Amino acid sequence: MIRLAPSTHLRFNRIQKRLLRWYATHQRSFIWRDLRTTPYVVMVSEFMLQQTQAAMIESKLPRFLKRFPTVRSLALAPTGDVIRAWQGLGYNRRALNLQRAAQALNARGRKPFPNTLEELMALPGVGAYTASAILSFSFHYDVPVVDVNIERVLSRLWMPMRDTHETIPIPLIKSLDAQILPRGNSGLWHQALMDLGATICTKRNPKCEICPVLAECKSAKNMIRTRTIAKESLPSKEILYAGQPRRVWRGRVLKSIADKKVINLSQILKVLDASSNPSIEAMIQTVLNDLATEGFIVRHGKSTFKLI
Ligand code: SF4
C-alpha cells in the first residue's frame, strides 16, 4: 500500500467536493443507473457494459431483466433463450458466462448474494472490475473501482503525466483510490470519475479548460501542451500539389478561365506555372472535368474552356 502525503489527501478532498458538485448537474443519464440497486442487476448490467455501446444497452437491459428478473430465472432458462435475449449485444460468450454465473449463484441455495471480492471473482466471467462494481454500486462498500477511464483520470489528477498516453499502473491507482474515496459515497465517486473520463478527461483530447477539477490537476499543463502538439503533427489527409491542396488549385483554375474570354489547357498550365509537373497537370485536367460537369465552365473542342 502506498503512503500518501497529507497534502495529497487534502488535495483529493478538494477534488472530491468539486467533482461531486459537478456530477450533481452533469451526470449522464443511463437506464442502468436507475435500475441497478440489486447485486443481480448490477452484475447483468456490468456484463453488458463490457464492450457494448451504452445506447444498445439502454434498449436491451430492461427487456433482458423483464425476461430474466431473478438469478433463478436466468439460471434455469434454456441457454438458447438467453442467447436470443442477448442478440444485438455482441460477444455471445458473455451471455453464456452470465448464465453460468447465475447457475453458480443459484446453486448456493438460500445463501445470500456473495459480498466479497474473492467470492464474486470465483463466478464465471466476473473479473476484478465487475466484482468491485457490484460491491460499490450495490452493496455500497468503500472499495476501489478502477476501469480504464478511472485509471486515466486518477493518473492525471495524481501526478503530472507527460502526455495523453501515459497512465499509472492499475494496482497503484487502486491503492490511491482505496485511500482517497469518500467513505460512504463510493458509488457516486466512481460514477462521477467515469463520467468525467468519458466526457471531459477523454483519452486523446482532454478538455481541461472546462474541467471542474482543473485547479487541482497535476497534468493539465502537459495535457494542453501535448494535445496541441498531437493535433499539429497529425498527418494531413489532403494531398498537396506544390504545397497546395486541390481545392486551392481548383480556385486558381477557375480564376484563370474567368480572367480570359477563352483559354486552352496549355495556357492554363502556363498561367498557373504547372507546365512541367505531370501530377499537377493530371490533377488540373480532373479539376477541369469536374468544373465542366458541375456547370461552371464549358468546353470548346478538346481543350479550350470558357466560363458558362
Ligand atoms: S484538468 Fe485536464 S487532465 Fe486534469 S482531470 Fe481535468 S481534463 Fe483531465
Which residue segments constitute the domains of the chain, with CATH numbers given? 1-26+140-234 (1.10.1670.10), 37-137 (1.10.340.30), 240-307 (1.10.10.10)
Ranges of the chain with pLDDT below 50: none
* Interatomic CA distance for residues 194 and 173, integer angstroms: 14
SS3 81: helix
43: nearest Cα among 98, 84, 104 = 98
Q: Which of 46, 151, 216, 281 is catalytic?
A: 46
Length of the chain: 308
pLDDT tens, position by position, 16-39: 999 999 999 998 888 777 766 799
Please tell me the predicted confidence (pLDDT) of residue 233: 59
- Ligand 1 mutation pick, 203, 208, 209, 228, max ligand atoms within 8 A of CB: 208
* Nearest residue to 284 via CA among 240, 253, 262: 253
**Burial (Cβ within 10 Å: 0-12, 13-18, ≥19) of residue 78:** exposed
Q: Check pocket membership of 157 for ligand 1, CB cut-off 6 A.
A: yes
153 lines ligand 1 (CB under 6 A): yes
Q: How many CB atoms lie within 10 A of CB 229?
A: 11
46 is catalytic: yes
Q: What is the pLDDT of residue 158?
A: 94
Q: Looking at ligand 1, which atom is closest to the CA of residue 224?
A: 2
